[in-house]
Amino acid sequence: MELTYRRQRSHFWARFLKKLIPALLLVYLIDVNARHFRDIVGELNAWWGTARTRMEMGEMAAALDAEYASTNRYPDPEAFRDFVRHWVRPKSPHDPYYDRWHEPYRYRVEGSYYEIASCGPDRACGTADDVRRQGGFATIQTPPP
């Protein structure tokens, strides 16, 4: 049985909408989930970057303590960049002077104390996500006699 022109058009639109509505719903759900997934991935990247930065700071601290043990002083802040590049993973393609967010580490030394700092994922110093490592031979306590 032949459909009239009007019924053919309404049949076409019914089939078209029957396919379009689920496709639009799928696009909407993908968009919502992608935003949520992006937030989760961002948090994981910040956590992993912080963990890697702490590990690299530990390597720097070991090199600094070895330098202090052999020369009885820590490197000057001006020489810190060359010191880190020479003693902390010198053959790595990643420049160890920069943290995971491509910002240089901050280094401060006062006598036998030192502090290494990274501004963290937000790249702003002085916020809650900053990563710091303090050390020095004066911080190691000798056992009581």
16: its two tokens: 């078209």
What single letter denotes the amino acid at residue 134?
Q
pLDDT band at 11 (very low <50, low <70, confident <90, very high): confident
Query: Does residue 121 sit within a domain?
Result: yes
Query: Does residue 129 sit within a domain?
Result: yes
Query: Does residue 71 sit within a domain?
Result: yes
Q: Residue 12 CB: number of other CB atoms within 10 A?
A: 10
Query: Does residue 145 sit within a domain?
Result: no
**Per-residue CA distances from 114 to 108, 133, 136, 138 (Å):** 6, 8, 6, 10
More confident residue, 7 or 136: 136
**Alpha-carbon span 102 to 104, nearest angstrom:** 7
Residue 130 has what pLDDT?
93
Q: What is the pLDDT of residues 83-127, one digit of tens each?
A: 999 998 888 888 889 998 899 999 999 888 999 999 998 888 989
Domain count, the chain: 1
Beta bridge partners of 118: 131
